[in-house]
Amino acid sequence: MTFAVEVVVVLKPVVNDPQGLVVRDGLHRLGFPEVRAVRVGKHLELEIEGDDEASVRAQVEAMCERLLRNTVIEDSRIGSISVLSGSAM
Amino acid sequence: MTFAVEVVVVLKPVVNDPQGLVVRDGLHRLGFPEVRAVRVGKHLELEIEGDDEASVRAQVEAMCERLLRNTVIEDSRIGSISVLSGSAM
């Protein structure tokens, strides 16, 4: 089966986010003073072959540790897992 | 009230994503051959003052059109809106 997996990678709360500050200031200048804070992270959409959701989830968690996130400054979470196509046979 | 709003900005399906190709190839090399495709987008967390969810949603949609997404090559969607703090008075 093919699964679609969403992974969100965000800076840890204690890590400064200069990109977010720039976006916030830009929004203030464009007439959105109600914006208090912005933090910018990454959103990854993966298409993965797998047998079941549990094994796919475990694989994606391993990918996060190996490549997708910088474990020193970033947290990651799996947003959603859905079946794209295929049967269990 | 203060609302927490998640915005996801992704490349339109017809737009090439070289960054996603590099991540996919990296995962293949690290021993994850089951990854078929990767697309990389942005995940923004906004803290916004507002009266109610409907007005906050409208404001964030305006921000997406003005700054947060490149309307030529990117799509955006609001992932979630939740109340962080405050009362309706």
Q: Are A17 and A37 in contact (CB under 8 A)?
A: no
Which string of b and e fits A5-15 if b means at least 16 CB within 10 Å? bbbbbbbeeee
CATH of domain B2-85: 3.30.1280.10
Predicted confidence (pLDDT) per residue in B44-87, tens digit: 999 999 999 999 999 999 999 999 999 999 999 999 999 998 76
**pLDDT for B85:** 84
Instruction: Judge whether residue A88 has pLDDT over 90.
Output: no
| B68 touches A: beta carbon within 8 Å | yes
**pLDDT for B48:** 97
Q: Indicate which of A44, A57, A64 best probes the interface with B, i.e. most B CBs within 10 Å of its own CB.
A: A44
The torsion defined by the Cα of A20, A25, A29 and A32, in degrees rounded to 10, comes to 60
- A26 to chain B: which residues are within 8 Å by CB? 67
Pairing of strands A35-49, A74-85: unpaired
Q: Please judge whether A42 and B42 are an interchain contact, meaning their C-beta atoms are less than 8 angstroms apart.
A: yes
Under 8 Å CB-to-CB from B41, ≥6 apart: which residues? A42, A43, A44, A45, B8, B9, B10, B11, B74
Query: Can you tell me the ipTM of this complex?
Result: 0.90
Main-chain phi, psi angles of A67, to 5 degrees = -140, -45
Give domain limits for chain A.
Answer: 2-85
Q: Are B41 and B11 in contact (CB under 8 A)?
A: yes
Mean pLDDT of B26-54: 97
**pLDDT for B87:** 62
Predicted confidence (pLDDT) per residue in A10-44, tens digit: 999 999 999 999 999 999 999 999 999 999 999 99
| B65 touches A: beta carbon within 8 Å | no
Closest chain B C-alpha to A14 CA, distance in angstroms: 15
Under 8 Å CB-to-CB from B29, ≥6 apart: which residues? none
